[in-house]
Amino acid sequence: MSIRNEFQRQAIAAHVAQRLAGPARAILGFQELLIEQARDLGLPHMQPDLERIGTAARQLNGLIDHLLDGTACSPEVPLAEAEARLRHDLRTPLNAIIGYSEMLLEDARDAHEHPLKEDLGVILAAAGELLKQVDAIAGLSRGPAIEMLQSGEQSEIDAAGLERLLFTTKHDAWPDQGGRILVVDDVASNRDLLSRRLRREGHRVVAAESGLSALARLAEDEFDLILLDILMPDMNGIEMLSRLKSEDRWRHVPVIMISGLSDVAAVAKCIEAGADDYLTKPFNPVLLRARINSTLEKKRWLDREHRYLQRIETEKRRADTLIHAILPDQIVNRLQDGEEIIADRFEEVSILFADIVGFSAIAKRLPPSDLVSRLDGMFSRFDLLTEQHRVEKIKTIGDAYMAACGIPEPAADHADRIVALAKSMLESLRDLPPERDRFRVRIGIHSGPVVAGLIGRLRFVYDVWGETVNIASRLESQGVADGIQISEATRRSLRGQWTLEPRCALDLRGIGPIETYLVQ
């Protein structure tokens, strides 16, 4: 902190001596008294925390001594940075003093040790008074701040009284479910104090002494909340907050910034960077409890929302998989685009029918479960083959199987693809072990125009209609076992080299004679 003139220097010295040195010396004195009282009362478990209060009190008195002799800050340090550092340095030991005193006060209340309660109350009141003066001291280098300080003294707020009021307020019960909290602070006493308080409240706490250490902890485990200090040596809180919000895996974890800085600019910067809340050191236990409770509850709601969205996404994927198994992808896309009536005419399509020879006799001999299992095995193999040959399975009708090529997307090689499918279907059955009830199929194929569309509202189906379908069915029913019978129209549509054997001319009622061929 730079001091403009001798008047300001004297003002600072006077104010520090009056407002800071007295309470700080009192804290140290009462701490020494409490050490003796705890020893006399046989309360050795309080000694470590009392020693910590003493350590913090000596640190605080050392800082105040430097303020009094004018060596607290270097003149080369910029004013804003010097003030921020001064606030941080003064609040750090105060944070430890207040925090450990609060915990000891709770223990003393439980043990009904009235002398300890009174002295701890004095320490807390003195610390509260000191806390109130920190910002005023830090701003004394500016001329107007002196006037503000003088007017502030006239309308002094009873911070100690407010503190007592807050302490006597009945605390709301914490939710049964504690959170997993990561505490990041480079000051060991702050980490220890905050961690112990949170564990006492039922939370699981992990502490990290720096931003880099915190990132390593985050990589190893999941947390419900991060309490993040701003001033740290390797990575400051704003930088770490930006890192957290830039990573998908950590973006949803709420962050409460903790700092001795109480400037509005610092708070605004943290909120803009993505912080969920801001707490200044030393912590008011009621405010700390309320902020953490609120943030964890918000996190739980977000987790629930995230789980619900995941469940909805899973169900949506299942529904999409199911509908894609029933309908061609192009038809699904048209439905999802809002098309309500799907009906198309295709001029060049090949239709395949396959039917099991002697199925009724086989069905009588086989147990139902065996029969269904065999049908399922055969039709499943056919389904895979339709995908391999890029042919659309239309449906199964009892023991018959129907497929089409050239719908819903026209295909110039529709006849070649569906004949190749037919040959693969027969080969898949020939590969099965020979047995009495082995399935043998007849296959008929015809090519021509069809109408295709989606029908039904329940158990809807994408189907094809027209004379081409009827002729293909007749070719199958009048075909031969383990054979593929195609029409003259299909033969003309073939582009590849296929070995065909002319068979006969079938006279179909209402259609007339058509030439047929067997695919070799």
Separation of alpha carbons 108 and 116, rounded Å: 6
| CB count in 10 Å sphere of residue 410 | 13
- For residue 7, what pLDDT is reported? 47
- For residue 149, what pLDDT is reported? 43
Phi, psi for residue 104 in degrees, rounded to 5: -65, -35
- For residue 44, what pLDDT is reported? 84
Residues of the chain with pLDDT under 50: 1-4, 7, 143-157, 159, 162-163, 165-167, 169-175
- For residue 225, what pLDDT is reported? 93
Nearest alpha-carbon partner for 400 in 355, 436, 431, 365: 355
- For residue 148, what pLDDT is reported? 44
Helices (H) and strands (E) in the chain, counts: 19, 13
- For residue 262, what pLDDT is reported? 64
- For residue 229, what pLDDT is reported? 87
Global pTM reads 0.51
- For residue 352, what pLDDT is reported? 97
- For residue 151, what pLDDT is reported? 42
- For residue 284, what pLDDT is reported? 72
- For residue 516, what pLDDT is reported? 93
Paired tokens of 51: 């020693």
Separation of alpha carbons 240 and 216, rounded Å: 12
Range 200-208, long-range pairs (CB < 8 A, 24+ positions): 200/103, 201/174, 201/289, 202/174, 202/176, 202/178, 203/178, 203/179, 203/292, 204/178, 204/179, 204/180, 205/180, 205/181, 206/180, 206/181, 206/182, 207/182, 207/183, 208/182, 208/183, 208/184
3-state helix, strand, coil split of the chain in percent (to 5) is 60, 20, 25
- For residue 75, what pLDDT is reported? 61
